[in-house]
Amino acid sequence: MPERLRGALATIREQLGQMTATQKLLIGSLAVILVMTLFVVGQYAGRPAMVELLPGATAEEMSRAEVTLASAGISAESRQGRLMVTASDQHRAMVQLAANRALPADGEQILYTNLSERQSWQNSRRQNEQLFVIATQNELSRMIEKVRGVRRAEVQLDVPEANGIGRVVRTPTASVVVQPESGSGLSQGMVDAIAELVAWSRAGLDVRNVRVIDAATGRSRRPSDPDDIVPSTYIEHASRIETMTREKLLDLLGYIPGVQVAVTAQVDVTRVNRETRSYLPEGEGTLNLALRERNQSENQERRATSAEPGMRSNQSAEINTGGGSGTAYERADDEIEFNAFPGQQVERISDPRGMPTRVAVSINIPRSYVAELIAFTRPPAEAGEGEDGAPARAAGPTPEELEEAFAEVEPRIRQTVLPHVLAMSAGGGVTTAEEAAAQLAVAMVPLDFAVPGMTGSPGGLFGMIAGGGSGGGGDLGLGPGGLVSQVLVLGLAGFAVVMMLLMVRKASKRVDLPTAAELVGIPPTLETNTDLVGEAEEGDAPMTGIEVGDDDVRSSKMLDQVAEMVRNEPQVAAKLLNRWIQVDDY
């Protein structure tokens, strides 16, 4: 291929050499015109085909659509009052406009802002109410779409018309279709929030009559009923109470290494709504007002004549008819009707409860803790020697001693834990310490844990190195704070510092570099005391001098290298010779 190209270029060079300067300028101009033509064709051919996106849309609608497409990363151009996009992006642009409600049809939605423009006195009452319901649906859809995690929402309200007497009453219902941004679906908390928003936006609409459709999973979700008892709520609340109680008891018993605490709780998550109505006594809220009052009174009296006073005037009087006589009549009717207004006091209590009703606690004390308490309180035994001559080790506590010591430890642990068990079980009617004690169990288990500050170590050098030592002296062990560990840390730090200093010293040491004469290969000058180097002896035949140049030396070295390459790597030498040797055709 290179030979053919070389031959073609040689032919072109030969033909151009036979042309005049004018002909060469003409050919150059034609080449420039050809290149420019190809560039223009490439510009138009490489541009994608543009199609109109929203035919018949107004300038405002096209401006809103262009802003929406720019935010979505879709290029759009406005040409002569038309919105143009590439043919490959047409479908994606329509989807983005529909998702962001930027289509011309979406701009004509009935909302509260333009509801008055749609209502007219020529419309019937039912038509105006239907327009109001549609505006409410659209407003709710826009409000739900502002919730984080919601991409699209559609609300449908079924509000029946008020019926007359004797007709069946229909309750209003609603349904919401929600498309979340992620494909994981809606959480129960989001479903409850959306349902309550829709229910409280319409009078008479119960939250239990609202259904939320999850478009991601295709499931119908129902809002939570406050009166329902969800098993998961019970389990979660019981687990929370158990964890809180266990952590509190572990903090109290943290001085016991390896203590085990198990808590089982029973909780009451039933919601209780209580209403109490009482009437207030008169004068403290109760009023008696006179509604009607009726009074009737009659009085009748008759006076009788009598003689003059004195004895003469009564001489002719008889016993049966003598003395004055008269009639007296009196009547009184009082009637008062009162209207009583009794004072009422209504107390509504909503108790979410959630308190624990019963808490059972089990505490396991390791046997090693009790044994160390016995060893700590036991007086030190006299040192003796064993069979092999080594110091005798103190004997461990017997089971009887462990039981006696645990009998002393158990009441203290119960005294510490029992008030908390009683407080946690008060909601279930446990009021006495005896009842709470039945829910607390303390036992000793055969587990062994090292107790810091109590456990001794074997004597001797190895015991001291392992972290033992006597109780009164310092700790010489390898553990944290031990003398040996501190010495090891200091030794490692000193070794690191020494190594660093050696590396710095080695790096700063001056290296003797060769001189320029040594790099070139000039031999050093010999130092002699006299100018006489030596005497040349006479030979039988004169020596022939040959002048050798740099090119000859280079050629000789190259021949030696080529010969060595031919002997060692003949294939590589053959490829190299093919590149060097050029055959001329005559």
* Domain shared by 263 and 356, yes or no: yes
pTM of the complete model:
0.36
Question: Which residues in 186-201 are b (16+ Cβ under 10 Å) and which e?
Answer: beeebbbbbbebbbeb
Express each pLDDT in 374-391 by its tens digit: 888 776 554 444 445 544
Using the predicted structure, report yes or no on whether residue 261 has a pLDDT greater than 80: yes
Share of the chain above pLDDT 70, in %: 71
Task: Of 415, 416, 409, 417, give the one whose Cα is nearest residue 359.
Answer: 417
Express each pLDDT in 113-156 by its tens digit: 777 777 777 888 888 888 888 888 888 988 898 888 888 899 99
Using the predicted structure, report yes or no on whether residue 486 has a pLDDT greater than 50: yes
* Domain shared by 245 and 355, yes or no: yes
CATH code, domain with 61 = 3.30.70.1530
Is residue 371 a part of any domain in this protein?
Answer: yes
* Domain shared by 156 and 185, yes or no: yes
Contacts of 211 (CB under 8 A, 6+ apart): 173, 174, 175, 176, 220, 221, 222
* Domain shared by 193 and 248, yes or no: no
* Domain shared by 163 and 58, yes or no: no
Using the predicted structure, report yes or no on whether residue 463 has a pLDDT greater than 50: no
Is residue 432 a part of any domain in this protein?
Answer: yes
pLDDT at 14 (0 to 100)? 80
pLDDT at 585 (0 to 100)? 54
Locate 78 and state its tokens: 């406005």
* Domain shared by 371 and 255, yes or no: yes
Express each pLDDT in 328-349 by its tens digit: 667 777 777 777 777 778 787 7
pLDDT at 462 (0 to 100)? 42
* Domain shared by 138 and 206, yes or no: yes
Mean pLDDT of 35-60: 74
Q: Could you say which of 445, 464, 479 is where a domain stops?
A: 445
| Cα distances (angstroms) measured from residue 260 to each of 244, 337, 354, 364, 365 | 15, 78, 27, 5, 7
Is residue 248 a part of any domain in this protein?
Answer: yes
Using the predicted structure, report yes or no on whether residue 487 has a pLDDT greater than 60: yes
CATH code, domain with 145 = 3.30.300.30
Q: Tell me the residue range of the domain where 414 lies.
A: 236-271+350-378+398-445
* Domain shared by 125 and 262, yes or no: no
Is residue 344 a part of any domain in this protein?
Answer: no
Q: Could you say which of 76, 100, 124 is where a domain stops?
A: 100
Is residue 209 a part of any domain in this protein?
Answer: yes
Counted domains in the chain: 4
**Nearest-angstrom CA–CA distance, 129 and 114:** 15
**Nearest-angstrom CA–CA distance, 514 and 522:** 12
Q: Which residue has the higher pLDDT, 133 or 467?
A: 133
Is residue 130 a part of any domain in this protein?
Answer: yes
* Domain shared by 116 and 200, yes or no: yes
Mean confidence (pLDDT) of the chain:
75
Is residue 178 a part of any domain in this protein?
Answer: yes
Specify which of 35-49, 196-210, 505-519 reaches the highest per-range mean pLDDT: 196-210
* Domain shared by 160 and 195, yes or no: yes
Using the predicted structure, report yes or no on whether residue 465 has a pLDDT greater than 70: no
Is residue 415 a part of any domain in this protein?
Answer: yes
* Domain shared by 59 and 92, yes or no: yes
* Domain shared by 218 and 130, yes or no: yes
**Nearest-angstrom CA–CA distance, 462 and 477:** 9
